[in-house]
Structure 1
């Protein structure tokens, strides 16, 4: 059984600001407001959520090998 990491550090592609947040375990987060510049981040094409696109840790469902929000 693997340990699921519930926190991820998002790096804003616009300003480089980093913020560590707790990820939701039961839903995808499709939008994220950068705490540095206010940019609204959305997942990159092919990613299920902002944590999979901009975080240093993928979301919990992906860590478990499941489809995110599927």
Structure 2
């Protein structure tokens, strides 16, 4: 890979629970990302207000063409 080559898109995102702050690394899906996810630490259901849980709570946004964020 040379300096002029584009970097590949990240394939993982760190999702952080808004209630307890627990972080988990998840693979970005190829298709539509989920709009809800349960925190494995506190059990709270994370409901996306926008496109999906990756866009609202993740370190990397989803790759969906329909995402408007």
The answer to whether the superposition gives a TM-score over 0.5 is yes
Tell me the CA shift for residue 49 of structure 1. 0.2
Tell me the CA shift for residue 28 of structure 1. 2.1
Task: Give unpaired runs (5+ residues) of structure 1.
Answer: none
Q: Is the 8 A contact 1:6 1:23 kept in 2?
A: yes
With normalisation by structure 2, the TM-score equals 0.79
CA RMSD of aligned residues (A): 1.5
Superposition misfits of 4+ residues, deviation over 4 angstroms: none
Out of 6, 11, 32, the residue aligned to residue 11 of structure 2 is 6
Structure number with the higher helix fraction is: 1
**2:3 alignment partner in structure 1:** none
What is the number of residues matched between the two proteins? Answer: 62
1:1-70 alignment to 2 at 5 Å? Answer: 3-44=8-49, 47-61=50-64, 66-68=65-67
